Chains A and B, each alone.
Chain A
Amino acid sequence: MKRIDYVSCLDQMYQSQGFPPYQWSEFDSSPWTPFDKPLNQACIALISSAGIFRDDQKPFDPWAVNDLSYRQIPIETPFERLKLHHNYFDHRDALKDLNCVFPVRRLEELAKSGFIGSVAPEAITLGMGRLYKRTALQKETVPDIAKALRKQQADAVLLVAA
């Protein structure tokens, strides 16, 4: 398949529906922390934005707009107890196997085989949808998540954008 320019396609679609141009996040530099630890000693955390929650947690809105909330899911949670609410992408493959967007079983195996040191005990999930509150995301949600990850002593984070 050829690459899809989702940004342009989404712009075109929503503007043709009468929405104002979306203010995409765009940065010309990146923060950088050298990664010095050997991978096989590192604790890797997982963040997935596929709208996954545990059956006793507040569900995500599958058509979320401005949802800045997140859930923390212990990685050993059986997939039978997890649900996925996200309609902005075709989630049918993910429902067949959540590892497509929430690869905790694979990460556990990589820890077991010694490829990574360990998996941070609680994965972070978001639903988000369309966001028009970038400042709140950056100043409230993100610092909260960073705090939770530090508490778990994560050395690096795998961000899976669904």
Chain B
Amino acid sequence: MMAQVRAPRNVFVNFPLGRPCGKPNDAKLQAQILKDALGYLAEAKTPGEFADLPYQWDESFDWACYLEDIEHMLKAEGAEVQDWKPKD
């Protein structure tokens, strides 16, 4: 998505959606990710360029996990699933 939109300067953190600035209550990791991102603001030379930050998510995670996690979250919170349907 980042490559399509091409904001002027981009950094990519390969964590599951919803944790772009790091894991919860891990201030050290969050600060490091922000330092890298802000440092890149000054370093990037080419419009639309992006950098992959080196952080690794410890567990495996894929699209199926993404959908399952949302399902579990909605169930746990007693929230409704989206009822918006395509027009006929």
Contact of A25 among B5, B35, B69 (CB under 8 A): B5
Given A29-B48, A100-B21, A109-B31, A19:B86 Cβ within 8 A: yes
Complex Cα distance A143/B77, Å? 36
Which of these, A63, A100, A105, A107, contacts B82 with CB under 8 Å? A63
Per-residue contact bits, chain B 12-38, to A (CB 8 Å; 1 contact, 0 not)? 001111111111110100110011011
With A30-B8, A39-B39, A100-B24 in contact, do A1 and B14 touch (Cβ < 8 Å)? yes
Interface locus among A67-75, A86-94, A120-128: A86-94
Q: Do A20 and B86 form a contact, CB below 8 Å, given A1-B60, A31-B8? A: yes
Set of chain B residues within 8 Å of A101, measured between Cβ atoms:
18-21
A158: shortest Cβ distance to chain B, in Å? Answer: 7
Question: Are B38 and A27 in contact (CB-based, < 8 A)?
Answer: no
Q: Which residues of A contact B70 (CB under 8 A)?
A: 87-90
Q: With A31-B47, A99-B21 in contact, is A110–B79 under 8 Å at CB?
A: no
User: Is chain B's binding surface mostly helix, strand, loop or mixed?
Assistant: loop
Q: Select which of A9, A20, A26, A100 is within 8 A of B63 by beta carbon.
A: A9
A52 touches B (CB below 8 Å): no
Q: Is the CB of B17 within 8 A of A110?
A: no
Do A115 and B66 touch across chains, with their CB atoms under 8 A apart?
no
Query: Complex Cα distance A35/B38, Å?
Result: 11
The yes or no answer to B73 lying at the interface (CB within 8 A) is yes
Q: Which residues of A contact B5 (CB under 8 A)?
A: 25-27
- CB pair A4 B20 closer than 8 Å: no
Instruction: Determine if A97 and B24 form an interchain contact, defined as CB atoms under 8 angstroms apart.
Output: yes
Do B27 and A106 have beta carbons less than 8 Å apart? Answer: yes
A-B contact pairs, 23 of them (CB 8 A): A4-B61, A4-B62, A6-B17, A6-B63, A30-B6, A31-B8, A31-B47, A39-B41, A63-B82, A87-B73, A87-B79, A87-B82, A92-B73, A94-B18, A94-B19, A94-B24, A100-B20, A106-B21, A110-B34, A110-B35, A110-B38, A156-B41, A161-B20
